[in-house]
Structure 1
Amino acid sequence: MDDTSLQSMAVFVLWPFHLFGVWPFHPMDVMARVLVLVAFDVDALCACKILQYLFQCDQILYTIVPVTGKEELEKAYVENSEGVKHVIFINCGASVDVVETLQPEESVRFFICDSHRPVDVHNVFNAVQVKLLMKEEEFDELPEYDSLFRDDDSDDDSGNDSDTSERSGKRKRFDDEAIEKRRDKRIWDENRQKILFEYNQFSTYGTSASLIMFELAWKMSKDTNDLVWLAVVGVTDQYIHFKTPRDKYIDDAMALESHVARHNHRGDDEDNIISINCLKIVFDEELQLTLYRHWSLFDSICHSVNLACKFKVWTLKGQKRLHEFLAEMGMPLSQCKQKFSSMESTLRHNIKQMIQDHMTKYGLTNQDVVIPSFSAQYGYKNKLCAADYVLACVATLENIDKNKSATDNFLSALDILQRVNVASLEKAVELAKKQTQAIVTQVQTFLDMHQVISAGPFLYAFIQEGTMDVKFFAKPQCLMRLARFTLEAHCSVSRNKRARSLPLVLGAPLDGEQGTTLVIGIPPLQLDEERKNFFGKAFEQAAVSTNSRTLHDSFDSYIMEMKTEDRSKFFDALISLLN
Structure 2
Amino acid sequence: MFVENVQEEFYNIIKGKHVLLFVNYDVDAICTCKMLQSLFRSDSTLYTSLTVEGVQDLIEGYCKHSEQVKFVLLINCGGTIDIVETLQPEEDVVFFVLDSHKPTDVCNVYSRSQVRIVGNVDESEKIPRFEDIFIDSETEDEDEEEDFDEEARAKRKQRKLWEENRNKTLFEYTQFSFYGRASALVMFEIVWRLGKDNIESLWWALVGFTYQTVLGLVTERNYSNELPVLQLHLTRLMPTSNNSSRMEGYRITCQKDLKLVLYRHWTVQSSLRHSISTAVKLKLWSQKGEKRLYQLLAEMGLPISDSKQNFTSMDSELKTGFLSMIESIVNNYDLDSLIYHSFILTIGFSNSYQAADYVYGMLALLDSTLSEKTSKECFLLTLDSLSRYKHNIIDKGINSSKKLLTSVMRQVHTLLDMKQIFSAGPFLYFILEEGSVDSKIFSCPSSLVILARYALMAFNSISRNRRTAMLPLIASAPSTNDNCIILGIPPSTEVIPRNFFGKAFDQAVETIGINPVINYFDSSVIKICKEDRPKFFDSLVTILS
Q: Same fold (TM over 0.5)?
A: yes
Distance in 1 (alpha carbons) for counterparts of 2:436 and 2:226: 39
Task: Describe the shift of the 1:156–1:359 C-alpha distance in structure 2 as closer, same or farther (beyond 3 A).
Answer: closer
**How is 1:64-75 mapped onto 2 (pairs within 5 angstroms)?**
64-75=49-60
Deviations 1:43-90 (A, max 9, x none): 000000111111111111111111111110111112122231211100
What SS does the corresponding residue of 1:322 show, helix, strand or coil?
helix
**How is 1:340-419 mapped onto 2 (pairs within 5 angstroms)?**
340-365=311-336, 367=337, 369-400=338-369, 403-419=372-388
2:496 to 521, 526, 530: 530
**How is 1:270-309 mapped onto 2 (pairs within 5 angstroms)?**
271-272=242-243, 274-309=245-280
Task: Describe the shift of the 1:63–1:466 C-alpha distance in structure 2 as closer, same or farther (beyond 3 A).
Answer: same
Cα drift, residue 265 of structure 1:
4.7
CA contact (8 A) 2:239 2:246 kept: no
**Are 1:496 and 2:465 an aligned pair?**
yes
**Are 1:573 and 2:542 an aligned pair?**
no
Distance in 1 (alpha carbons) for counterparts of 2:498 and 2:333: 31
Say what the alpha-carbon RMSD is for the aligned residues.
Answer: 1.9
Aligned residues: 542
Deviations 1:5-59 (A, max 9, x none): xxxxx1114xx223556521243xxxx3111100000100000011111111111
Task: Describe the shift of the 1:278–1:127 C-alpha distance in structure 2 as closer, same or farther (beyond 3 A).
Answer: farther
Cα drift, residue 178 of structure 1:
4.8
Distance in 2 (alpha carbons) for counterparts of 1:182 and 1:329: 74
Q: Paired residue for 1:197?
A: 171
Q: Paired residue for 1:56?
A: 41
Distance in 2 (alpha carbons) for counterparts of 1:21 and 1:482: 39
Distance in 1 (alpha carbons) for counterparts of 2:261 and 2:277: 10
**Are 1:87 and 2:72 an aligned pair?**
yes
Q: Paired residue for 1:475?
A: 444
**Which amino acid counterpart does residue 306 of structure 2 have in structure 1?**
Q
Task: Describe the shift of the 1:239–1:349 C-alpha distance in structure 2 as closer, same or farther (beyond 3 A).
Answer: same
With structure 1 as the length reference, what TM-score do the two structures score? 0.90
Distance in 2 (alpha carbons) for counterparts of 1:264 and 1:495: 51
CA contact (8 A) 1:297 1:338 kept: yes
CA contact (8 A) 2:432 2:477 kept: yes
Deviations 1:483-520 (A, max 9, x none): 10111111111111122211111111113x42x22111
What SS does the corresponding residue of 1:526 show, helix, strand or coil?
coil
Deviations 1:533-570 (A, max 9, x none): 00111122233333355446100001112333333333
CA contact (8 A) 1:44 1:234 kept: yes
Q: Paired residue for 2:28?
A: 43
CA contact (8 A) 1:298 1:336 kept: yes
**Which amino acid counterpart does residue 251 of structure 1 have in structure 2?**
N
Q: Paired residue for 1:168?
A: none
Q: Paired residue for 1:248?
A: 222
CA contact (8 A) 1:134 1:207 kept: no
Cα drift, residue 326 of structure 1:
0.2
CA contact (8 A) 1:276 1:380 kept: no
Q: Paired residue for 1:321?
A: 292
Task: Describe the shift of the 1:201–1:428 C-alpha distance in structure 2 as closer, same or farther (beyond 3 A).
Answer: same
Q: Paired residue for 2:507?
A: 541
1:448 to 417, 422, 429: 417
Task: Describe the shift of the 1:548–1:496 C-alpha distance in structure 2 as closer, same or farther (beyond 3 A).
Answer: farther
CA contact (8 A) 1:310 1:364 kept: yes
The alignment-based identity, stated in percent, is 40
Please list every run of 5 or more consecutive structure 2 residues that lacks an aligned counterpart in the other structure. none
Distance in 2 (alpha carbons) for counterparts of 1:385 and 1:312: 26
Cα drift, residue 309 of structure 1:
0.5
Deviations 1:321-376 (A, max 9, x none): 110110121111111011111111111111111011122222322x2x12211010
Cα drift, residue 182 of structure 1:
4.0
Cα drift, residue 275 of structure 1:
3.9
1:134 to 95, 119, 126: 119
CA contact (8 A) 2:29 2:208 kept: yes
Cα drift, residue 252 of structure 1:
1.8
Task: Using the TM superposition, name which of 204-213 and 136-145 deviates more.
Answer: 136-145
**Are 1:153 and 2:117 an aligned pair?**
no
**Which amino acid counterpart does residue 194 of structure 1 have in structure 2?**
K
2:390 to 421, 427, 442: 421
CA contact (8 A) 2:56 2:518 kept: no
What SS does the corresponding residue of 2:14 show, helix, strand or coil?
coil
CA contact (8 A) 2:344 2:355 kept: yes
Task: Describe the shift of the 1:449–1:549 C-alpha distance in structure 2 as closer, same or farther (beyond 3 A).
Answer: farther
Cα drift, residue 184 of structure 1:
3.5
**How is 1:92-103 mapped onto 2 (pairs within 5 angstroms)?**
92-103=77-88
Distance in 1 (alpha carbons) for counterparts of 2:370 and 2:300: 41
Deviations 1:193-225 (A, max 9, x none): 111111101001111111101000111111100
Q: Paired residue for 1:206?
A: 180
Q: Paired residue for 2:310?
A: 339
Cα drift, residue 180 of structure 1:
4.5
Distance in 2 (alpha carbons) for counterparts of 1:156 and 1:207: 43
